[in-house]
């Protein structure tokens, strides 16, 4: 399948600020093309929301045997690491789209900068980490809602939506899945969930008890309506053993339908195939992508009927 990418603008608003958007109409889509739309989220340029601009990569898939007028596919929100939509993130989007999904990948830092990806160097790493805690949870939420809204507005979308992402994006995928419209989530090495350190904060808090009136992701798990797969490397220094255990325990306490996948020798950013500082593990990455395809395929593509009570599992050999 072939891929063709273009741009579309999407509106967002947060923290009492909003503006009008400009939308680029989707191109005519020949049946033999896998079509991608790159949309934008940037509050500092003349595009959307606070002025959201380029950063949303949307991919429509069409097989040569398909009818472009009637083909429909599930949507996937893909949230990036702290460097925005880099080459590895865009390649990941294309991989997912190639299996029959419309993929939307917003650039998270439109509040502060343009849609261009940050560099994998020390200066831009510091910049990305600073933006990550300056951006409010309300702004992150507005982005994810707008991304889902846009996917659902497409005539080629079935109305079923999944979420995925890595690092910061792994957290944002989990947080986005608090929206009941998202029914499947596959999160790669999500940072800052266990410590409540996404967005502005005074100090890290790894307590199992929620602070008063907390809107941190860790304290909102009871809002999950879909299924979640959490993927971590055991050697990930960003999310230590205790942090992973806290996330798992809080999900179980909230009754979340979740699976945990922990790989013994994997480190942080192990799926990044570019400038990964020696941490890229293609073998484990392949296994994790199969996890994603299983969850998304079963939840977003298979019609299992209306959800009902599941009978108790028999204790048998």
Task: Give the active site residue among 77, 157, 167, 288.
Answer: 167
Catalytic one among 111, 141, 236, 281?
A: 236
241 is a catalytic site residue: no
Per the annotation, the verdict on 268 as an active-site residue is yes
Distance separating the N- and C-terminal Cα atoms of the chain: 45
- List, in sequence order, every beta strand (DSSP E) within 61-147: 73-79, 102-105
**Sign, Cα dihedral of 143, 147, 152, 153:** positive
Q: What is the largest CA-CA distance in the chain?
A: 63
Region at 187 (left for phi over 0; alpha for psi -120 to 50; beta for the rest): beta
Of the listed 60, 150, 268, 288, which one is catalytic? 268
Active site residue 317: no
Q: Which two structure tokens, joined as six digits, stand for 254?
A: 């909230």
Contacts of 216 (CB under 8 A, 6+ apart): 137, 196, 198, 210
Q: How many CA atoms lie within 13 A of 8 on its CB side?
A: 19
Active-site residues, by number, are 167, 236, 268
């Amino acid at each position: 399948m072939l891929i063709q990418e273009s741009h579309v603008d999407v509106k967002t608003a947060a923290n009492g600020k909003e503006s009008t958007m400009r939308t680029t109409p989707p191109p005519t889509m020949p049946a033999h093309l896998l079509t991608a739309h790159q949309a934008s989220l940037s509050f500092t340029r003349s595009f959307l929301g606070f002025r959201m601009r380029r950063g949303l990569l949307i991919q429509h898939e069409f097989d040569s045997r398909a009818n472009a007028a009637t083909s429909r596919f599930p949507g996937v929100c893909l949230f990036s690491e702290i460097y925005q939509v880099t080459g590895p993130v865009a390649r990941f989007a294309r991989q997912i789209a190639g299996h029959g999904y419309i993929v939307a990948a917003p650039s998270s830092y439109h509040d502060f900068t343009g849609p261009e990806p940050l560099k994998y160097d020390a200066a831009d790493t510091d910049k990305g980490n600073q933006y990550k805690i300056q951006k409010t949870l309300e702004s992150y939420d507005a982005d994810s809602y707008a991304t889902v809204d846009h996917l659902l507005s497409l005539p080629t979308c079935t109305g079923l939506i999944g979420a995925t992402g890595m690092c910061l994006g792994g957290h944002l995928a989990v947080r986005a899945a608090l929206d009941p419209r998202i029914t499947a989530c596959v999160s790669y090495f999500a940072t800052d969930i266990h410590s409540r350190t996404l967005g502005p904060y005074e100090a890290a808090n790894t307590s199992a008890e929620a602070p008063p009136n907390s809107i941190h992701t860790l304290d909102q798990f009871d809002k999950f309506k879909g299924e979640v797969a959490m993927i971590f490397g055991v050697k990930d220094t960003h999310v230590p053993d205790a942090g992973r255990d806290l996330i798992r325990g809080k999900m179980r306490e909230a009754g979340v339908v979740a699976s945990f996948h922990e790989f013994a020798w994997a480190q942080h950013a192990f799926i990044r195939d570019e400038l990964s500082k020696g941490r890229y593990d293609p073998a484990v990455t392949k296994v994790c992508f199969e996890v994603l395809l299983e969850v998304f395929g079963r939840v977003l593509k298979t019609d299992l009927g209306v959800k009902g009570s599941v009978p108790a599992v028999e204790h048998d050999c």
